[in-house]
Chain A
Amino acid sequence: MPAGDAFTHDQLLDIERAVRHAEAASGLHFSVYVGGADSETRPFAVELLNELPDPDRSVLVYVDPAGRRLEIVTGATAKRQLSDHSAGLAALAMQTSFAAGDLTGGLVTGVQQLGDHAHQAPLLHANEPHQQ
């Protein structure tokens, strides 16, 4: 394998756009980590989540391309908005793309799907009444 970065500039922009879209839709913090883990992937992914500024309201997508492992970790508050079942569906979509060698496509699709599943409809009855 040749040495170099995991993603091109355009690919990074695509993933960042998907992350921003998911954050805007859900109000949660989304983060994507692509790299290897020295230990088991799940504890490592949880450690990464705890590195984030507000782990309880964060969703971390961890991809280990060498170990071919994917972890989606949701914080305590985030998991109320994004159920494990929804995370599993997004993981399935990502898994299919990763198996075909499409890391960027899988991440973009998966993060978008996570954002859509975590989307919270505005509570109209709780909004301020319109001024007449």
Chain B
Amino acid sequence: MISLLSGHTLLVFVGIPALVIAVVTLLVFASSIARGPRYRPGLSWWAPPVWINGPATTKPDPANLPELPAGSTPTATAARGVARSTGGASASW
């Protein structure tokens, strides 16, 4: 009788609270699990490069890109497929 009572007591006072805690935890983290990993500034970047609307479907490897001639930062020659001069903006966070 005592063992039956203690088993029932355990179920009510430990099992049910644990179940409730598990459900609430799942509800809290469900959205972030569904979204996948999130970018956190300051921590290392984990993903391979993505180029949206780039040339064909290739993704360039930074190591394989041709090097710029020394001292020719924003301006370049007017050869085919090369921007003559560039504008734009920069920012950091």
Chain A neighbourhood of B47, CB < 8 A: 3-6, 34-35
**Count of chain A residues with Cβ under 8 Å from any Cβ of B?**
69
Q: Do residues A36 and B89 form an inter-chain contact, with CB atoms below 8 A? A: no
A88 to B37 alpha-carbon distance, docked (Å): 29
**Can you list 5 A-B contacts with CB-CB less than 8 angstroms, sorted by A residue number?**
A31-B52, A31-B54, A32-B50, A46-B76, A51-B54
Q: Do residues B90 and A50 form an inter-chain contact, with CB atoms below 8 A? A: no
Q: Which of A15, A66, A95 contacts B44 (CB 8 A)?
A: A66
A54 to B53 alpha-carbon distance, docked (Å): 12
Against A, the Cβ 8 Å flags (1 = close, 0 = not) of B37-64 are 1111111111111111111000010110
Chain B interface category by residue count: 35 or more
List residues of chain B with CB under 8 Å of any chain A CB.
35-55, 60, 62-63, 65-66, 68, 73-74, 76, 81-93
Interface of A is mostly: mixed
Chain B neighbourhood of A47, CB < 8 A: 65-66, 68
A52-B55, A72-B88, A95-B93 are contacts. A7–B73 as well, Cβ < 8 Å? no
B51 CB to closest chain A CB, in angstroms? 5
A42-B74, A43-B68, A68-B93 are contacts. A1–B44 as well, Cβ < 8 Å? yes
